[in-house]
Amino acid sequence: MRELTYKDALNEALFQVMKADERVFCIGEDIGVYGGAFGVTAGLIEEFGEERVVDTPISEAGIAGACVGSAVTGMRPVGEIQFMDFVTISMEQLVLQAAKIRFMFGGKATVPMVLRMPGGSGTGAAAQHSESLENWFVHVPGLKVVMPSSPYDAKGLLLAAIEDDNPVIFIEHKLLYKTKGHVPEEMYTVPLSDTKVVREGRDITVVATSIMVNRALEAAEQLAAEGIEVEIIDPRTLNPLDEEPIIRSVIKTGRALIVHEAVKTGGYGGELVSRIMESEAFDYLDAPIRRLAGLDIPIPYNRTLEYHTVPQIESIVSEVKRIVRGEV
Amino acid sequence: MKEIIMPKFGFTQETAEVVAWLVGEGDVVEAGDPLLEVTTDKINMEVEAPVDGILAGVRVKVGDVVPVTEIIAYLLEPGESLPQDALTGPVVVEAPPTGGTATPVAARVAADLGVDLTKVSGSGSGGRITRQDVEGFATGAKNGQTPAEKVRATPAARRIARERSVDLVQVAGSGPRGRIQEADVLAFQPAAADRGLVEAAIEPLPAGDYRVVPMTNMRRSIGQNLQQSWQQAPHIMFQADIDMTAVEALLVKGNHRLSPDEPKITITAAVTRAVAWTLQDHPWLNSRLVESENEIHLMSHINIGIAVALEDGLIVPVVKDANMKGMKRLNEEIRDLAVRARSNQLKPDDISGGTFSISNLGMFGVDRFTAIINPPQAAILAVGRTKSMFVPDDKGQPVVRPICNMTLSADHRVVDGAVAARFMQDLRLALEAPETMLL
């Protein structure tokens, strides 16, 4: 089976879709000659030229605005925000324009744009280059929010996002770029709003997003050695959420742990807990649903502190044990 | 035709037991005539005829426990006869009302909590089971008697309990803080024969080796209240040997002034006076713990309960606003309450509202004893006999003094040791130097 890194899977997806659809173009800071801060757009400018791989000044509002405007006129822009942190500059374009236009024009206009951005900590890049802001967008109807956790999903979800007629916030993870996995060579899509059970188990449901899926999988290996079978679920698309597989799983296991890197307070975990509590799974809960999430602080620069600020494999292992053993 | 119903004498009263019929079927009575005597948890009462008439259709017999508002008989006008439905279907008084007479919300809550409705007695109109009854039963059964906290159980445990008709109250939880989890319900085996086990544990004796005394309402009530108090209130005890010289001198002087037909002022009245005076500065001892609200109520009035022994039980009538009354007045009121207590003449108001209790067993020659707090009060004073003892005077020489041992029991959830100790210190001052109470 062919293996690619997460970064190369994204790169391949962009190559293929730009070849197949001339409406698709990329726009962002240092994405051309430099190939992007993490190399996702490497080689594109040589293949497609400056017209379709547009280097911009440092102006995130401009990138997002250009995407919105060109999308409304029929293009399929793929913008890149160098670090997710800087998407804060783009909020007006995304929240007030991209998310609203289709509704306010009664469906006569659509905004088929994708805005890619790497989020997350773990690179020692400190508080202004390590944010996990996905829930900012989850809270805005009209935006779709996608967070792939594997190379296969990265390629398939990016192609599906570009195909979608709505604005999609596509959140990658810096630490995932170098992870490897099976990626088919041909073009394929992974449908949006299609929650995936990535590992089956009977004792507890762990719902994880982005890199936390990978950490949960490692934790599950360790826990399996102790006889604890963890079921791991990756929503992949946070909004609109396909909640059914999560509810089915909690009905089966009776226990749930939510793991995400973003800070706990106001994080996506609260939404997931609520979806479970409001569903028929409530009657099957045999323990409180717990959230393992980032501490409510900005990401510290010190590497040791940074490490302990967000969930790690060992913290997932111990939290799962506490729940399964009825200690909480 | 006039229906006679079982009256409700107290707020919390659910039933009353028929003690005696004072008139018979066919007797002519006038409005206000006593028809029958009933007993509630606490006191005996007479049920009077509401109108003139002829007693007919008596539906309850002596010993029946009847829900309040239940029809117990009819009064007919001359020439009138009982309607057919009054003759048929006498009330069922043996068993408390069952599932059929629960309010819809009570039925739902019972299902949620896994409560068997047939075991719950109703306090609603006509003995209907209310939501409070169900919740009270669920918590009560778990904790011996009193509602204290709800059953902790996971949603999954509750669902399975519902499906299998398991009463969660009986299930032991293995989770944190005793939370009942799914596995606990699955593992739960209902005791095969609860009754059988209990009966087997008591060695059977041949009939005639014992005399059967039915558990009266009063005995049950005493048992429940005091068991609850003893198990739930952490009792702390404080003893003081108090020199009664000054009190005795005061009583001699005071009693000397009474006319011959007036009752002599007793030690109980003097102690009541001193306790009421002392409580004015010690509100924690004059308080109630209201657990359901998470509150301690420091009571504005000082109402002293005086324990009175009865032939078949015990009752604690209350002297209202005791701190506003002198020893002579207290003596008269205590005497009146005791007389009425022994002749079953107390009214509900006479036994309610107490904020502190005194139990004096000195007249039986008891040197010292401890008493169980009368809930929801926070403290009770046990008074032993006053006896002559050698004690050193201020020069260290032995002198004979009347010494009385008093033991305070206080609820440590409300009253701390130093608080109780200061109360005892001031009580000693009031009794050893009663003139202090004039200040």
* Assigned domain for A187 exists: no
- Domain shared by A244 and A298, yes or no: yes
Judged by CB atoms closer than 8 Å, whether chains meet at B175 and A326 is answered as yes
Phi-psi region of A222 (alpha: psi -120 to 50; beta: other; left: phi over 0): alpha
- Domain shared by A222 and A284, yes or no: yes
Chain B CB contacts of A282 below 8 Å:
155
Q: What is the pLDDT of residue B101?
A: 72
- Domain shared by A170 and A41, yes or no: yes
- Domain shared by A97 and A132, yes or no: yes
Q: Between B154, B175, B183, which is nearest A285 by CB?
A: B154
Q: What is the pLDDT of residue B125?
A: 67
Q: Which of B286, B390, B270 has the alpha carbon at shortest distance from B330?
A: B270
Do residues A201 and A253 lie in contact, with contact meaning Cβ atoms separated by under 8 Å? yes
Which residue has tokens 């707020």?
Answer: B11
List helix spans (H) across A164-267. Answer: 211-225, 244-253
Q: How many CA atoms lie within 13 A of B184 on its CB side?
A: 25
Phi-psi region of B63 (alpha: psi -120 to 50; beta: other; left: phi over 0): left
* Assigned domain for A170 exists: yes
- Domain shared by A168 and A210, yes or no: no
Judged by CB atoms closer than 8 Å, whether chains meet at B154 and A327 is answered as no
- Domain shared by A69 and A35, yes or no: yes
Q: Which of A157, A182, A207 is the last residue of a domain?
A: A182
| Chain B residue with Cα closest to A289 | B154
Q: Which of A149, A182, A215 is the last residue of a domain?
A: A182
Prior bond of A240 cis (ω within 30°): yes
| Residue B48 contacts A, CB cutoff 8 Å | no
Q: What is the pLDDT of residue B140?
A: 61
More confident residue, B347 or A38: A38
- Across chain A, mean pLDDT equals 97
Judged by CB atoms closer than 8 Å, whether chains meet at B155 and A285 is answered as yes
Specify burial of residue A325 (Cβ count, 10 A radius: 0-12, 13-18, 19+): exposed
Chain B CB contacts of A287 below 8 Å:
154, 175, 181
Judged by CB atoms closer than 8 Å, whether chains meet at B155 and A283 is answered as yes
The gap from C-alpha A61 to its chain's centroid, in whole angstroms, comes to 21
Cα–Cα distance list, B342 to B303, B307, B329 (Å): 20, 12, 20
Backbone angles phi, psi at A205, to 5 degrees: -100, 125
Q: Which residues, 6+ apart, have CB-to-CB distance to B430 below 8 Å?
A: B274, B277, B278, B436, B437
Domains annotated on chain B, with CATH:
2-87 (2.40.50.100), 99-195 (4.10.320.10), 218-438 (3.30.559.10)
- The residue segments making up the domain with residue A273 are 196-324
Output the domain CATH number for residue A107.
3.40.50.970
Token code pair at residue B334? 């205590």
- CA-based nearest distance B169→chain A, Å: 17
| Residue B158 contacts A, CB cutoff 8 Å | yes
Output the domain CATH number for residue A207.
3.40.50.920
Q: What is the pLDDT of residue B228?
A: 86
Task: Report the C-alpha gap between A85 and A129 in whole angstroms.
Answer: 6
Residue A294: beta bridge partners? A263
Q: Which of A205, A224, A214 has the alpha carbon at shortest distance from A291?
A: A205
Query: Of all residues in chain A, what percent carry a pLDDT higher than 90?
Result: 98
- Domain shared by A87 and A175, yes or no: yes
- Domain shared by A137 and A256, yes or no: no
Task: Report the C-alpha gap between A213 and A217 in whole angstroms.
Answer: 6
The three-class DSSP label of residue A291 is: strand
Q: What is the pLDDT of residue B62?
A: 85
* Assigned domain for A190 exists: no
Backbone angles phi, psi at B2, to 5 degrees: -125, 130
The model's pLDDT over A266-318, given as tens digits with 9 standing for 90+, comes to 999 999 999 999 999 999 999 999 999 999 999 999 999 999 999 999 999 99
Chain B CB contacts of A284 below 8 Å:
155-156, 159
| Chain A residue with Cα closest to B184 | A286
Active site residues of A: 129
Q: What is the pLDDT of residue B141?
A: 56
- Domain shared by A147 and A222, yes or no: no
Judged by CB atoms closer than 8 Å, whether chains meet at B181 and A287 is answered as yes
Token code pair at residue B180? 């009942």
| DSSP letter for each residue of B156-194 | HHHHHHHHHT--GGGPPP-SGGG-B-HHHHHH----TTH
- Domain shared by A175 and A210, yes or no: no
How many other C-beta atoms lie within 10 A of the C-beta of residue B270? 23
Chain B CB contacts of A286 below 8 Å:
154-157, 181-183
Q: Which of A129, A156, A182 is the last residue of a domain?
A: A182
| Chain B residue with Cα closest to A282 | B155
Task: Report the C-alpha gap between B294 and B428 in whole angstroms.
Answer: 33
* Cα dihedral across residues B274, B277, B281, B283: positive or negative: positive
Judged by CB atoms closer than 8 Å, whether chains meet at B154 and A283 is answered as no
- CA-based nearest distance B113→chain A, Å: 13
Q: What is the pLDDT of residue B71?
A: 87
Do residues B351 and B43 lie in contact, with contact meaning Cβ atoms separated by under 8 Å? yes
According to DSSP, residue A107 is labeled T
Chain A CB contacts of B159 below 8 Å:
283-284
Cα-based angle A268, A121, A166 (whole degrees, multiple of 5) = 50
Do residues A200 and A25 lie in contact, with contact meaning Cβ atoms separated by under 8 Å? no
Q: What is the pLDDT of residue B78?
A: 84
| Chain B residue with Cα closest to A255 | B156
* Assigned domain for A244 exists: yes
Do residues B429 and B436 lie in contact, with contact meaning Cβ atoms separated by under 8 Å? yes
Backbone angles phi, psi at B435, to 5 degrees: -65, -20
- Domain shared by A85 and A177, yes or no: yes
* Assigned domain for A19 exists: yes
* Assigned domain for A97 exists: yes
Judged by CB atoms closer than 8 Å, whether chains meet at B176 and A282 is answered as no
More confident residue, A199 or A1: A199
Q: What is the pLDDT of residue B417?
A: 94
Q: What is the pLDDT of residue B40?
A: 80
pLDDT at A93 over 90: yes
Task: Report the C-alpha gap between A31 and A170 in whole angstroms.
Answer: 16
- CA-based nearest distance A265→chain B, Å: 24
Do residues A62 and A35 lie in contact, with contact meaning Cβ atoms separated by under 8 Å? no
| DSSP letter for each residue of B383-412 | EEEEEEEEEE-TTS-EEEEEEEEEEEEEET
Substitution target from B182, B185, B186 for chain A, most A beta carbons within 10 A: B182
| Chain A residue with Cα closest to B185 | A286
Q: Which of A13, A27, A9 has the alpha carbon at shortest distance from A160?
A: A13
> What is the number of CB-based contacts under 8 A between chain A and chain B?
31
| DSSP letter for each residue of B201-235 | HSPP--TTSS------HHHHHHHHHHHHHHHHS-E
How many domains does chain A fold into?
2
More confident residue, A78 or B32: A78
- Domain shared by A146 and A258, yes or no: no
Q: What is the ipTM of this complex?
A: 0.72
Taking residues A189-207, what's their average pLDDT? Answer: 98
Q: Between A284, A287, A327, which is nearest B159 by CB?
A: A284
* Assigned domain for A15 exists: yes
Taking residues A59-74, what's their average pLDDT? Answer: 98
Specify burial of residue A141 (Cβ count, 10 A radius: 0-12, 13-18, 19+): exposed
Over its length of 439 residues, how does chain B's per-residue pLDDT go in tens digits?
888 888 887 777 788 888 888 888 888 888 888 899 888 877 788 888 888 888 888 888 888 888 888 888 889 888 888 776 665 444 444 433 344 577 777 777 787 777 777 777 777 766 778 777 787 777 665 544 433 347 889 999 999 998 888 888 888 888 888 899 998 998 887 664 443 444 445 566 777 778 888 777 778 888 888 888 998 899 999 999 999 999 999 999 989 988 888 889 999 999 999 999 999 999 999 999 888 888 999 999 999 999 998 887 888 999 999 999 999 999 999 999 999 998 888 888 898 899 999 999 998 999 999 999 998 899 999 999 999 999 998 899 999 999 999 999 999 999 999 999 999 999 999 999 999 998 8
**Strand B28-29 to B53-56 pairing:** antiparallel
